[in-house]
Amino acid sequence: MATVCGLATRIEEGLLARNEIVEEFFSREALRLAEACRSMSERFLKGGRLLAFGRGPYATDAQHVSVEFVHPVIVGKRALPALDISIAFRPWVETILHPEDIVMGFGPPGGDDEIRSALKSAQAQDALTFALPGVEGSYAVEAFSHDSFIHQEMIEILYHTLWETVHVFLEHRELGHDVGDAGFLYPFLGQERQQTDDLVSQVAASIQMKVQDDSRLRAQAAREQAEQISSAALAIHARRLRGGKLILFGNGGSATDANDWAIDCVLPPSGYRPIAAVSLSLEPANISAIANDVGTEVIFLRQLIAHARPDDIAIGISTSGGSRNIITALEEARKRNLLTVALLGYDGGEIKRRQLADFPIVVQCDYIPRIQEVQASIYHIIRETLEVVSRGQA
């Protein structure tokens, strides 16, 4: 029989092990990443767009990239043109691609032949290409871990870094003398006039600083949240034994995390057993219809009412802990006696204060990309733990 204490130790070790892998990867890649960001900024200034795609769980990375660039989390940052074309990526590449565009393909650690083929076609048309992973492209990186969850977590840190750093280069080129509001992202950058060649090495150093911040945050979660994570996993497992399914929901980048978690359940890595799960964030027609006809606060509530069954598990993801549509859905889940779990940032916000989740798991940070990176590790760890428990290995 699995115990909370035994699982907590395993969870803490799993989170800490990720830090060593992530730090080694980015110490190797920081300079190349900074150079790739400079190239991206040049493409955007020429009118280029970012076209992203993947298959299965990796399509959610394309979703996340699109929302990060179009709807930046930092107030005042420009909206950059980005599209998720995963649903039919090869036809879209063949019909809408311009030479100044940026094309980003996501796949599993071993790569994906269809993704590789589409990237090769884009590169032949002079697009800037990112193979994540891959061996061919303007920026190509081989997987640094064979674990599909850890691989995906590193890729998320990578594209958050791309988004952050592109704005540094854009503001430098446009202002001509400083980095403006981007200074807090990259503390090595001074206020004096600099050439972009000088910026590359300084941005590379700041990328490594940000990765250290990520590691410290993940280590804090390992120390402070491992027992809560293990308790949540055991409670989810108990509901699953009664026939319950996971119902996931979140907004923006958290929507893509909800989607990824659901896909990791129903289309898991090799060796894992499928788990019943749905993501309410993966329903654009329902979301837009409800938002248009009733309001954004009930986009998840209305779907939950339709789908919830007594033994289900409602899982809300909110970096702020105060998203109204997450709160209303969790309130309804409480009324229906569903098990409620919440992945939260900051101090847990209203969701934690009002005790709307049986298991609030809080990443105590006020910067959204870092919160999301650690939350990705947490929900992957929960998925791993559910597999361990279901096989009686703990």
Percent of the chain with pLDDT over 90: 88
Helices marked H in 100-195: 113-124, 148-175
Hunting for tokens 């998203």 — which residue is that?
323
Residue 218 and residue 171 share a domain: no
Is 361 among the domain residues? yes
pLDDT at 185: 47
Q: Mean pLDDT across the stretch 103-121?
A: 97
Average pLDDT, integer, range 255-278: 97
Same domain, 72 and 57: yes
Number of domains the chain contains: 2
The last residue of a domain, from among 150, 182, 209? 209
Residues 56 and 188 sit within 8 Å (Cβ to Cβ): no
What range does the domain containing 150 cover?
Answer: 28-209
Confidence of residue 227 (pLDDT cuts 50, 70, 90): very high
Domain contains 186: yes
pLDDT at 188 exceeding the cut of 60:
no
Q: Are 234 and 172 found together in one domain?
A: no
Q: Does the pLDDT of residue 122 top 50, yes or no?
A: yes
In tens, the pLDDT along 310-354 reads 999 999 999 999 999 999 999 999 999 999 999 999 999 999 999
Predicted local distance difference test score (pLDDT) of residue 392:
84
Q: Calculate mean pLDDT across residues 2-16.
A: 92
Closest CA to 162 of 210, 127, 122: 210
In a domain, 9, yes or no: no
pLDDT of residue 171: 85
Selected residue with higher pLDDT from 174 and 59: 59
Find all residues with CB under 8 Å of 160, minimum gap 6, and list them.
Answer: 68, 369, 372, 373
Determine the average pLDDT of the residues in 103-132: 97
> Does the residue 181 lie in any domain?
yes
In a domain, 4, yes or no: no
What are the tokens at 328? 């209303």
Whether 248 and 205 map to the same domain: the answer is no
Q: 186, 209, 232 — which closes off a domain?
A: 209
Same domain? For 184 and 300 the reply is no
pLDDT over threshold 60, residue 177: no
Average pLDDT, the chain: 93
Residue 53 lies in a domain: yes
Q: Examine the domain organization and report whether 32 and 160 are in the same domain.
A: yes
The answer to whether residues 157 and 124 belong to one domain is yes
- Residue 346 resides in a domain: yes
Integer Cα distance of 121 and 137 in angstroms: 11
Are 115 and 140 found together in one domain?
yes
Same domain, 140 and 153: yes
* 334 within a domain of the structure (yes/no): yes
Summarised one tens digit per residue, pLDDT across range 25-52 is 999 999 999 999 999 999 999 999 999 9
State whether 262 and 292 are in the same domain. yes
Q: Where are the beta strands (DSSP E) in 280-333?
A: 313-318
Question: If pLDDT is split at 50, 70 and 90, which confidence band does 275 have?
Answer: very high
DSSP β-bridge partners for residue 140: 131
The pLDDT of residue 393 is: 64
Please tell me the predicted confidence (pLDDT) of residue 4. 86
Residues 75 and 221 in one domain: no
pLDDT above 90 (res 184): no
Last-in-domain residue among 187, 209, 231: 209
Q: Which two tokens stand for residue 71?
A: 């709807």
Mean pLDDT of 133-155: 95
> For the residues 238-242, what does the mean pLDDT come to?
97
Q: Per-residue pLDDT for 244 more than 60?
A: yes
Instruction: Quote the pLDDT of residue 5.
Output: 87
The H or E element spanning position 177 is: none
Cα–Cα distance, 137 to 21 (Å, whole number)? 23
φ, ψ of residue 273 in degrees (nearest 5): -95, 140
Reply yes or no: is the peptide bond before residue 133 cis, omega within 30 of 0. Answer: yes
The answer on 150 and 39 residing in a single domain is yes
Supply the CATH number for residue 286's domain: 3.40.50.10490
